[in-house]
Chains A and B, each alone.
Chain A
């Protein structure tokens, strides 16, 4: 029954899976450029996969139109995070973070590292990764 639900739910309106991962590279100036058209509405989260990196970045458009980027590295033991309902989860020990990067469940104690992100006026969002 559970398995059948997993296959049928995506066919319902509004239950379609999240957008695929956006793969890109880091510029020599240590910026990651992401097309703004990937974000259709507030609340949309786009997973960014920089070339050669071990960790993904979650880029989210907030209600006020600003952008918010989180490094998907668990603050407990540096494991890669996956998207989960309501945020991100680490499968190593079960730490969970909400979409703002705040710890929901331990053993992690520190919130996710946020990265500066803003539109550049040319249709792209620039994520600053100089401090990574």
Chain B
């Protein structure tokens, strides 16, 4: 009898160990779904989620259509305790990174540690997206109208602009104000390109030069149906050592060869009506010097803005669904001010108007079907910049339109 009991005991012990051994550490963490709000008392938790979008676009002038899985993003978040957590976003653009003629891209959009100081203030450290503009922080496809992200928030304020650094976020007790300030690595002027503003100078967390640094700050004010925000950025754009920068006749150092960005926006939501207004300006006083150093054609000043109005036809009818028809007018000039010749050459095609009209249908808050038409008008082409003139290439048309169809999800 004792032998039987002993055998049963050993069997139970082995089974328990077996179950534990069959479950990985990650599974143990995910299956633990409790946490506590009190300091220092919480169990770990890992969360997986993500978002993505795909679209079809028809270029009416070029008579060319394309379809792509624009992005599929995986979030992984882990809560170490009530005070410290980790957030990350990994993105694959255009589905295929290798094995296709036009390569996609895979990269980290965010990867940072968050330190909760108290209920109104926290610190982040790592690869983060500073609070500039409307779309930079809230870039999920369910959070904006239109298949394409606003052009101004793609080229004037680079979309999902992330860098390595630290940032402090907080909110006021007395007023409905949120504020942030961040310190991060600077942009790389060697990578700036004509016609894309400062977008191509981002390191995005990959082997960034860090001799040059940047500061960003924002203040957000919520007032009934309105949300106002002003933000700014100032940073050096030469990450070379002094010896390297001097050979190119550029100023090095933390804020050497600086670029400045200022932005203000307003959002309005009342019932079925929504509206947005944004303006951003980038000033690069040493663009002429960079043009000489790297044989580029960069502008001293670029600016842009947009106004959007939307109406949700299902607001009073359905709780979870929305059908928003919208119109957005965007104006941008990617060479509003250029260094005098020969350091800069004007390009009229960078002065653009975009009118986008369409709708976004969300059957549930996490899924969206979008359709819109974008009408584009630009200034004329500068013959001095045309390498392959007609009839070898099609004559440039200052007017074009694009038909866009897209889907998006987030969870």
Contacts and interface: CB of A to CB of B under 8 A. Distances in A.
B79 interface: yes
B49 A17 contact: no
Interface residues of A, number: 40
A105 B365 contact: yes
A2 interface: yes
A85 B120 contact: no
B35 A78 contact: yes
Given A83-B222, A94-B143, A107 B175 contact: no
User: Chain A: interface secondary structure?
Assistant: loop
Nearest to B114: A79
A57 to B, nearest CB: 10
A9 B226 contact: yes
Contact of A3 (B139, B224, B230): B230
Contacts of A55: 37, 119
A86 B225 contact: yes
A25 interface: no
B39 to A, nearest CB: 6
A106 B142 contact: yes
Which of under 10, 10 to 19, 20 to 34, or 35 or more describes the interface residues of B? Answer: 35 or more
Contacts of A53: 37-38, 119
B277 interface: yes
B85 A2 contact: no
16 contacts: A2-B279, A3-B230, A9-B223, A20-B174, A54-B83, A54-B119, A76-B49, A80-B116, A84-B227, A85-B227, A85-B270, A91-B169, A93-B75, A105-B365, A106-B365, A107-B50
Interface of A: 2-3, 5-6, 9-10, 15, 17-18, 20-21, 23, 49, 52-56, 76-78, 80, 82-86, 91-94, 102-109, 132
Given A52-B39, A86-B225, A103-B365, 10 more contacts: A9-B226, A10-B223, A20-B175, A21-B174, A54-B83, A78-B85, A82-B222, A106-B142, A107-B140, A109-B365
